[in-house]
Amino acid sequence: MWPGMLPPCIPRLFFLYRGVWEEAVLDYVEHFELLDRAGTKQKVLVNTFDELEFQPLRAINKYDLLGIGPLIPSALLDYEDPSDTSFGGDLIQKSTTDNYINWLNSKEKLSVTYVAFGSFSQVLKLQMEEIAKGLLKTHKPFLWVIKATENGEKLEDRLSCKQELEKQGMIVQWCSQLEVLSHSSVGCFLTNCGWNSIMESLVSGVPVVGFPQWTDQLTNAKLVQYYWKTGLRVQTAASATGDGGIVMADEIARCLEIVMGSGERGEEMRKQAQKWKNLAKEAVKESGSSNVNIKVFMDEIVGGSN
């Protein structure tokens, strides 16, 4: 706990230390210790782009942070290499069927909510029930990724409203996230706000309903809502333990209806999402900021080795 901070305030913080793998934290610490021991100002390559985070990239004076993103396959970003569709972020075993694409093809433009919480997040059963009820309340189609347990159990089988869900939407154990976000039928992304997912939503021009769970996801959700203005963050129910509680179905449905609705707020979010999509594509062009940054970095490496 941080000095002077009461437990109920913790979920409002930009960075929440909860559920973090200790090994990952130690790795980050080791990386920065190595940078500090280098003796000279070190360059750090970051999966972002100048137009998105101009001030943050220049806020840490001890390092030279270079935005070289978004690190997205060419076929889905600048179209220079149509064969480049692979993405290292697809960490779960891939499905052997593309039925979800056929299903998306059958839906109207911007009508589908895509729901995914990353490769490693685990959602409580009670929370899954509320997500399911919230999706049903919208009466809109959805594609929900629910990965199976290590022993192969399908977690959706535990849901009390599984039959209703299957009538309204589709549940899969895996999908190509970038392929889904790039599909014309997808109008909203319900996400835990992991950085890769946020970058993919920006590149695809898809508004977001943020459902942060741990570490930097709270920061990212704040940026989405208040700085980039491409979505909303859900609010948790009051919790006496200060752990953030559960996000209720009504709140999930409320946020989805705002983001996907025809009202002024929804229209503005879609407009902002399209703006960032265009800027992301500009960043990786020949004269774009990210392309220039990576060239400068490579020139220094080549020059230093001569």
Q: Does residue 88 register a pLDDT over 90? A: no
Give the per-residue pLDDT at 98. Answer: 62
Better-predicted residue by pLDDT, 239 or 103? 103
Can you give the pLDDT at residue 28?
Answer: 81
Q: Is 279 buried (19+), middle (13-18) or exposed (0-12) by CB count in 10 A?
A: middle
| Per-residue confidence (pLDDT) for residue 158, from 0 to 100 | 85
Q: Residue 81 pLDDT > 60, yes or no?
A: no
- pLDDT tens digits, one per residue of 206-228: 999 999 988 889 999 999 999 99
Start and end residues for every CATH 3.40.50.2000 domain found in the chain: 103-282
- Res. 230 pLDDT band, cuts 50 70 90: very high
Residue 121 has pLDDT above 90, yes or no: no
Assign 1 a pLDDT band (cuts: 50, 70, 90): very low
pLDDT, position 14: 47
Q: Where are the alpha helices (DSSP H) in the chain?
A: 22-37, 54-57, 99-105, 125-138, 162-168, 177-181, 195-204, 217-222, 249-260, 264-283, 289-305
pLDDT score for 11: 47
Per-residue pLDDT band at 3 (split at 50, 70, 90): very low
For residue 91, what pLDDT band results from cuts at 50, 70 and 90?
Answer: very low
Q: How confident is the model at residue 242 (pLDDT cuts 50, 70, 90)?
A: very low
8 Å CB contact between 47 and 195: yes
- Are the CB atoms for 141 and 112 separated by under 8 Å? yes
DSSP state of 215: B
Mean pLDDT of the chain: 85
pLDDT tens readout for residues 43-67: 999 999 999 999 999 998 899 999 9
The yes-or-no verdict on residue 4 having pLDDT over 80 is no
Backbone angles phi, psi at 305, to 5 degrees: -90, -10
The tokens describing 253, both together, are 């449905």
The CATH architecture assigned to 103-282 reads 3-Layer(aba) Sandwich (3.40)
CB of 16 closer than 8 Å to CB of 214? yes
Q: Which of 116 and 304 is assigned the larger pLDDT?
A: 116
Cis peptide upstream of residue 70 (ω within 30 degrees of 0): yes
pLDDT of 306 strictly over 80: no
- At 157-194, the pLDDT tens digits run 889 999 999 999 999 999 999 999 999 999 999 999 99
Write down the pLDDT at residue 282: 96
Q: Which helix (H) or strand (E) holds 112?
A: strand 112-116
State the pTM of this model. 0.86
